[in-house]
């Protein structure tokens, strides 16, 4: 060991540990988005919200996984847990084919 005295920082120079960053979950992100949408709609009538949310999420999900698999539909279907026919139907629905 060293003969050097141990130095401690004065109380006013000590820093609080930086909290670990945890990105929001998908559920939290969806909840925030839907809540924000409902607030912007204010007193306007909201219809077909379920279909709107699904289409807003499903299209970019399909596109993202297709890019990740280099447009391999079999791999994409497997990753998404869909059969290939269902995937093709959805890709056509969103004009991704």
Where do runs of H (alpha helix) occur along 8-71? 26-41, 49-68
pTM for the model: 0.65
Q: Is the pLDDT of residue 1 over 60?
A: no
Instruction: Express each pLDDT in 28-65 by its tens digit.
Output: 999 999 999 999 998 899 999 999 999 899 999 999 99
Asked whether residue 31 is domain-assigned, the answer is no
Residue 17 vs residues 7, 20, 21, 23: alpha-carbon distances, Å: 19, 9, 12, 18
* Domain carrying residue 54: 49-97
Asked whether residue 27 is domain-assigned, the answer is no
* CATH number, domain with residue 69: 1.10.10.60
């Amino acid at each position: 060991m060293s003969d050097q005295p141990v130095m401690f920082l004065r109380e006013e120079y000590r820093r609080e540990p930086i909290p670990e960053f945890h990105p929001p979950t998908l559920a939290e992100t969806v909840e925030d988005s839907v809540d924000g949408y409902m607030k912007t709609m204010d007193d306007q009538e909201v219809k077909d919200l379920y279909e709107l949310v699904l289409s807003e999420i499903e299209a970019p999900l399909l596109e993202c996984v297709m890019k990740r698999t280099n447009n391999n539909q079999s791999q994409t279907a497997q990753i998404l847990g869909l059969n290939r026919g269902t995937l093709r139907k959805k890709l056509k629905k969103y004009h991704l084919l």
